[in-house]
Amino acid sequence: MTDAPWWRGAVTYQIYPRSFLDTNGDGVGDLPGIIDRLDYVAGLGVDAIWIAPFFKSPMADFGYDIADYRDVDPLFGTLADFDRLLAKAHALGLKVMIDQVLSHTSAEHAWFRESRESRDNPKADWYVWADAKDDGSAPNNWLSLFGGSAWQWEPRRGQYYLHNFLTSQPDLNFYHPDVRAAILDSVRFWLDKGVDGFRLDAINFCFHDRELRDNPPKPKEKRTGRGFSPDNPYAFQYHYYNNTRPENLAFLGELRALMDRYPGAATLGEISSEDSLATMAEYTRPGRLHMGYSFELLTDDFSAAHIRGTVQALEAQMTDGWPCWAISNHDVERVLTRWGRGRPSAQLANLLTAMVCSLRGSVCVYQGEELGLTEAELPYEALQDPYGIAFWPQFKGRDGCRTPMPWSDVDAQAGFSGGMPWLPVPAEHHALAVSRQEADPHSVLNGFRRFMHWRKSQPALRWGDIAFIDTAEPVLAFTRRLAGQTVLVAFNLADAEVAIDLPAELGEQQPLDGHGLVAGRLDGRRLHLPGHGAWFASVA
């Protein structure tokens, strides 16, 4: 499997530029800050970086509202800075993936400014416009993820436009061939620069139902979602008509045809639908996306049954594609708080990293996971996220996982900035700063590095098939098999010691050392796992 494409089994480190490192003292991280810390990232043992949006934007949604797909916002630097970043990353052996937000733009994009002026201008049909109902109300009942109707009135045209997210993020009309061509041309711009791939934000939102049919109501007992809470009105509907439309598959084919002209370039689609696992399987079939990931492990459920059931459900459907797993990102509560259940520890942090990196697929880890950062508790006055401000206090938004990276414990801003950071640095994160953890051989950071480098020596963990062993809570156990090598993996998800009997048919086991986790011990067929302990063994 040494000839596998780079992205299969890769670990990609997600960088949220605003919060990584500020080099000019304005309180916001920038591209030179990423350049400055690329040696640190390469030293983690990861294979690639994914950089969240740094394009020109009014920052209503902190870069996910793009005003120019082909330019860097001055807040983050310049195109020349990006070129330097790309060159240094490649020199260090790191692949570079960047976010692409294709389904919608900023209301400040030149395309939308032209489109909204009249119903007969050259870009009049580049966005989703619709007439009001006879009583003046919105064209249908579609809702925005960020609250309220997904339709906004535009007096210049006397029509409504669609926005699945903020009102300042109008949806493009992907039925228009010129829109698809323009979007693909923007993607080509970055491929020509030499990027290694794209993380595709909300990729299943590109097309809408042409008939604008109402979404059906969802019964109260089924109001669960990924990326939104049950009390968000968005959860009150089945979203059959405003996203995940069948027409999207043809566009994915167009995108893949472009990608195939750049050998080695990969796509990773973010998918949140009524059945995200089924959509992942559908979107990663031959001729479509290279990888897909969903919010299925970005939930509060930290049980062996949930993790096992999620992976098995995907494995049953994804016969051709390749999954990507994440347990943290810039949109959800940090995993050590979410799954730590009030008792975060270095041991648990390293167990979680090892667990997700042992599943079949590729992995995205979010900046700060390697430090064991917990979710920041921010007062309302400090919030920046429009999502959190709209739904406060039941939902506090995404700022708590976006606070600045703590590089040093010797100054008030933790080495992130010489100015006032855009979000405060939590007091408890100072003790988790990189400078302090570097010196501690038992730190989360050094445990993360140890496991990542060890994983590279285990082909079965990177590329092998997966088969789960039926174990009771809190043990998650499975085998990974590749080319005659079988590795048994077991994790104790609880902090108290447990013992389980392994199936006799597994055969003889030889413990694998060097992973750095607290290891279990085997007594005959009985496996003893310490709290948050792990077992890796080669099976004859």
Who contacts 136 (Cβ-Cβ below 8 Å, separation ≥6)? none
Confidence at residue 110, expressed as pLDDT on a 0 to 100 scale: 98
Confidence at residue 105, expressed as pLDDT on a 0 to 100 scale: 98
Confidence at residue 393, expressed as pLDDT on a 0 to 100 scale: 87
Q: Which two tokens stand for residue 297?
A: 């492990």
Q: Which two tokens stand for residue 220?
A: 């109260």
Q: Mean pLDDT throughout 229-240?
A: 92
Query: What is the architecture, at CATH level 2, of domain 110-162?
Result: Alpha-Beta Complex (3.90)
Confidence at residue 504, expressed as pLDDT on a 0 to 100 scale: 87
Lowest mean pLDDT among 178-182, 312-316, 385-389, 409-413: 385-389
Q: Mean pLDDT throughout 377-393?
A: 89
pLDDT tens digits, residue range 308-329? Answer: 999 999 999 998 899 999 999 9
* pLDDT tier for residue 386 given thresholds of 50, 70 and 90: confident
Query: 């559908």: which residue's tokens?
Result: 282
Query: 């959800």: which residue's tokens?
Result: 332
pLDDT tens digits, residue range 338-354? Answer: 999 889 999 999 999 99
Lowest mean pLDDT among 106-110, 380-384, 443-447, 469-473: 380-384
Confidence at residue 218, expressed as pLDDT on a 0 to 100 scale: 96
Distance of CA 448 to the CA centre of its chain: 19
Confidence at residue 137, expressed as pLDDT on a 0 to 100 scale: 98
Q: Mean pLDDT throughout 48-52?
A: 98
CA–CA separation, 461 and 537 (whole Å): 12
CA–CA separation, 143 and 235 (whole Å): 9
Amino acid at the residue 67: A
The answer to whether 254 touches 181, Cβ cutoff 8 Å, is no
Q: Where are the domains of the chain?
A: 11-106+176-454, 110-162, 465-539
Confidence at residue 295, expressed as pLDDT on a 0 to 100 scale: 87
* pLDDT tier for residue 397 given thresholds of 50, 70 and 90: confident
- For the 11-106+176-454 domain, the top CATH level (class) is alpha beta
Q: Mean pLDDT throughout 62-68?
A: 97
Q: Mean pLDDT throughout 295-314?
A: 95
Separation in Å, CA 283 to CA 263, 289, 321: 20, 6, 8
Confidence at residue 319, expressed as pLDDT on a 0 to 100 scale: 87
pLDDT at 401 over 90: yes
Q: Which two tokens stand for residue 109?
A: 């994009």
pLDDT at 456 over 60: yes
Q: Which two tokens stand for residue 294?
A: 């969903």
The proportion of the chain whose per-residue pLDDT surpasses 90, expressed as a percent, equals 93
Q: Mean pLDDT throughout 29-40?
A: 98
Separation in Å, CA 52 to CA 109, 265, 456: 19, 17, 26
Catalytic positions, please?
201, 270
More confident site: 294 or 280 = 280
pLDDT at 1 over 60: no
Q: Which two tokens stand for residue 252?
A: 């994915």
Q: For residue 344, say if its preceding peptide bond is cis, omega within 30 degrees of 0.
A: no
Amino acid at the residue 52: A
Give the chain's end-to-end CA distance (angstroms, integer). 21
State the angle between helix axes of 248-259 and 276-283 in degrees (0 to 180), rounded to the nearest 10.
Answer: 40
Write out 176-236 in H/E/C secondary structure: CHHHHHHHHHHHHHHHHHCCCEEEEECHHHCCCCCCCCCCCECCHHHCCCCCCCCCCHHHH
pLDDT tens digits, residue range 140-178? Answer: 999 999 989 999 999 999 999 999 999 999 999 999 999
pLDDT tens digits, residue range 127-141? Answer: 999 999 999 999 999
* CATH code given to domain 465-539: 2.60.40.1180
Confidence at residue 94, expressed as pLDDT on a 0 to 100 scale: 98
Confidence at residue 109, expressed as pLDDT on a 0 to 100 scale: 98
Q: What's 360's DSSP letter?
A: S
* pLDDT tier for residue 28 given thresholds of 50, 70 and 90: very high
* pLDDT tier for residue 229 given thresholds of 50, 70 and 90: confident
Q: Mean pLDDT throughout 244-266?
A: 98
The answer to whether 22 touches 30, Cβ cutoff 8 Å, is yes
CA–CA separation, 14 and 326 (whole Å): 10
